[in-house]
Amino acid sequence: MALVGAAVRELASNPTHNCLPPGRVTELQLTATCLTRLAEHDECSAQIRACNGVTLLGKLLMVQPAKGEDSRANDKVSREVLSLKAYVFRALRYLFSVERNRKMFKRLFPPELFATFIDAGHYNAQLMAYAPLVTQFEELSEKQRLGVSAALDDVSVAREGSGLRSVGGYVILEMLGKGAFGAVYKARKSRGESLVALKELPLSDVGLFGATESEVSAGVGRMCKEVEILSSLSHPNIVQYYESFSSGPYLYIAMELVEGTSLLDHLQGLEQKGRRMPEQDIWQVLIAVILALNYIHCVKKIVHRDLTPSNIVLGQGAEGLRHTKIADFGLAKRLSSSVVAQSMVGTMPYTCPEIIQQEPYSEKADVWSLGCVTYHMVMLRPPFDGSNPLSVAHKIVEGAYDPPADPPATAGPPYSGQLKRLIGSLMTVDPKKRPGISEVAALVSGQLMASLERAAINEQRMTKALQMERTALQAHRRLGSAREQAAAAAAAAAGAGAGGACGGSPLRVVVGRKASLGMAG
């Protein structure tokens, strides 16, 4: 990253010409190749992004060849720079192939260029595959280039001492995403090291807060009260909410930062690779969501009301899927003991029939949504989909969907009958016959016990590893202490020797020591 950073700093110091000397091009091509190879691994890819790799690489797309008097040499340099851009696009495309990075890339390029970027394919090592991207990028207007440059600045990972923006006691480090309702940033408490996700919502959004001053005030109060309720939730499979506050023209919501990808992005990635989600992974996600829903339904008396694949976050690591969490309780609502909730909310393909028909509903609305999410994990598409909302709504009310099918032999092994039957139970049209979350837990008790057993084994393994680390650290400290004592003894001996050289009588010291030892005996 240091080599790429040096090149970008050189560009920043000469923004008018955006030129690199010829000798640097080959070095940068090698650097881009190394980053490409590193980006094949998810954790390395995340590290490249954390080191500002996307912005630093992207800025190299802005370079122009240094012009000299020799036209033949100029042509050679131009070809080298265009070749460098192909290397850069390849590295960026490899970074994009990791699901957790994709939202960031959607903001970088104009739609036509982004479509070509997608067409290059995942992990395509052939450099010629990126030639159309280079050609298309070179044809961008000056305004479009400035737009790309600004987008690269937006996704830049802020560094200490670089004029960081602060709001409400948080330091903004990086933009994680931007959508129709606002932006989400990675932030850090001004006093401390803990990182959070900070959602920024514009108060000018009429749909969120209303049009008049009184409506905005009421909307802010309502949302802050919602966050206050959600901050009381404490469960390992639910994203933790911390606080909300207003600052200037925005409302901010601070919540737990989960490094990973949404279930929706993960499923789309599997579809692009021609694979289906392994059943073990489906159960892992399913059990985590069941445990979370059991907590909010039975303990907190809250209905999520918007459970979709985009609101389920998957942390990823060397051991595969892990840290499944429910996120975005933007539509969550506390249920009183006397009032059954009634409103038209949620994302339609995952919305239960009773909400579609504007009938009273309960926490079983989330059970239906869980069935739709499970179906999506199995089939890589929602059970009810289409361009006509009325047609989709009719299918939901009738419970008319294609039964879940096994994947082709090339995409994965068949799914168990238990998983398919569970989907049917969860998606029971009549809410009176639909199981509650406790009944769902009973239906999957075998998988639930297996999951708890794996969790216990993992905890035991982690405890053992932690104990080994603690023992190694203690041994290291003892060794360091012994070395310090030995060094102190050596220094004392050297001092004693120096005293003898200055005319002292070391013999008297030794004799005295022997005498004292003899007396002790």
Query: Which positions make up the binding site?
Result: 199
Helix 22-38 vs helix 2-12: crossing angle, to nearest 10:
140
Residue type, 118: I
- Residues with Cβ within 8 Å of 201's Cβ and at least 6 positions away in sequence, in order, are 181, 182, 208, 209, 223, 250, 251, 252, 253
Catalytic residue of the set 119, 265, 306, 366 = 306
DSSP 164-205: --EETTEEEEEEEEEETTEEEEEEEESSSS-EEEEEEEETT-
Q: What amino acid occupies position 385?
A: D
* Residues placed in the known binding site for ATP: 199
Q: Which residues contact 21 (CB under 8 A, 6 or more apart)?
A: 66
Dig out the tokens for 169 from the structure: 């006691």
Q: Is 430 a catalytic residue?
A: no
Two tokens, residue 492: 């004392």
| Residue at 286: amino acid letter | L
Beta-ladder partners of 255: 197, 241
- In whole angstroms, give the CA distance from residue 355 to residue 366: 11
DSSP string computed for 469-518? HHHHHHHHHHHHHHHHHHHHHHHHHHHHHHHHHTT--HHHHHHHHHHHHH
Contact call for residues 51 and 20 (beta carbons, < 8 A): no
The CA R_g of the chain, rounded to the nearest whole Å, is: 31
Amino acid at 493: A
Structural contact between residues 40 and 123, judged by C-beta atoms closer than 8 angstroms: yes
Please identify every residue annotated as catalytic: 306
